[in-house]
Amino acid sequence: MAVFTSVSLEEVNAWLSQHYQLGIATQLKGINSGIENSNFFLTTEKNGKTTEYVLTLFERLSKEQLPYYLELMEHLALKGIAVPAPVRDAQANILGFLNGKPATIVSRLAGVSRLQPELDHCEAVGQMLAKMHLAGQDFHLSQPNLRSLEWWQATIPQIEAHLNPDQKSLIQSELSDQTAFFASEAYAQLPAGPSHCDLFRDNVLFDPSSGKDQLGGFFDFYFAGNDKWLFDLAVTVNDWCIDLSTGQLDPIRYTGLLAKYQSVRVLTAEEQNSWGMMLRAAALRFWVSRLWDFYLPREAQMLTPHDPTHFERILRERRTNTPKI
């Protein structure tokens, strides 16, 4: 999240009064995490009751692409998965326009992100990720993961000029391996469906209000798409279960997250055999995107690109050491 398009409280109130029945906006605060859309915490008051939401203005995704993400969130919320629920306007539209950009309002989840997760956090994430996959099986829309192989193939030539010879060799070698993997019969056999594709530590909330961290929910579904569930799991493991300084997997968190995932959905033999390549695919995806954001950034308020060397390190580690399930 970031702020690319500025919005004032007066502009939001004019928009709300025309399209919604949420009352008066009393506070609007830009969110500085993330790098794709303009996001704000929105507080409204109606009949003496205060409610908190998240307002998002979409900077890259088109109005044709957006119903997939928003209706997926709505579908999952109705299935009991803890995700932000889109708020439809007075005409039942799930998407509108504000300051020239597609915009939506969603419910605000309770809790905070745990950026140094422990075993119980990883177990909760693994279990809910599997439940989310199964809950999405009957979702009526389909849209591919827009940051998958075709995007890597198109983006790598744009960033290669910024790489040293060793990095160029690594990224080309991995792209070649992944192109072959994606074309294989083994890849074709992997179960697939709606996937989050970006389930990092900062996209999950835990609510400590009861005295013990309870999973508050998953959010920021705007990289979601129909993909192999194993890819979604690999993205999650590559963030939640590692030592950030080395990229190496922490065996306790790694084993715990996978065990809880499989307590809901057991991985197939094809998935287990493809695990090493999928962990590498997940690392390549985020190395490429971080290189792109770092060297070809867009102007934005409150935007801080992530360090691309983090996922270079993870990719090298996954190529050297293939963990077992």
Domains annotated for the chain, with CATH where assigned, are 9-107 (3.30.200.20), 119-320 (3.90.1200.10)
pLDDT of residue 33: 66
- For the segment 34-58, the average pLDDT, to the nearest whole number, is 93
pLDDT exceeds cutoff 80 at 185: yes
Question: pLDDT > 70: what percent of the chain?
Answer: 96
For residues 257 and 280, what is the distance between their CA atoms, to the nearest angstrom?
Answer: 18
CA 149 to chain centre: 17
pLDDT of residue 299: 59
What phi, psi does 54 have (nearest 5°)? -120, 125
Cβ–Cβ < 8 Å for 73, 81? no
- For the segment 78-84, the average pLDDT, to the nearest whole number, is 98
CA angle centred on 285, ends 103 and 162, rounded to 5°:
100
pLDDT of residue 36: 82
E strands, 155-222, are 192-195, 204-207, 214-218
pLDDT tens figures, 268-313: 999 999 999 999 999 999 999 999 999 998 655 445 678 999 999 9
- 28-32, 155-159, 165-169: lowest mean pLDDT where? 28-32
Question: pLDDT > 90: what percent of the chain?
Answer: 93
- For the segment 202-225, the average pLDDT, to the nearest whole number, is 96
pLDDT exceeds cutoff 90 at 90: yes
> To the nearest whole number, what is the mean pLDDT of the chain?
95
* pLDDT confidence bin for 109, thresholds 50/70/90: very high
Task: For residue 194, give the 3-state DSSP assignment.
Answer: strand
Secondary structure (DSSP) of 25-64: EEEEEE--S-SSSEEEEEEEEETTEEEEEEEEE-SSS-TT
The whole model's pTM is what?
Answer: 0.94
pLDDT exceeds cutoff 50 at 314: yes
pLDDT exceeds cutoff 50 at 1: no
For residues 114 and 33, what is the distance between their CA atoms, to the nearest angstrom?
Answer: 14
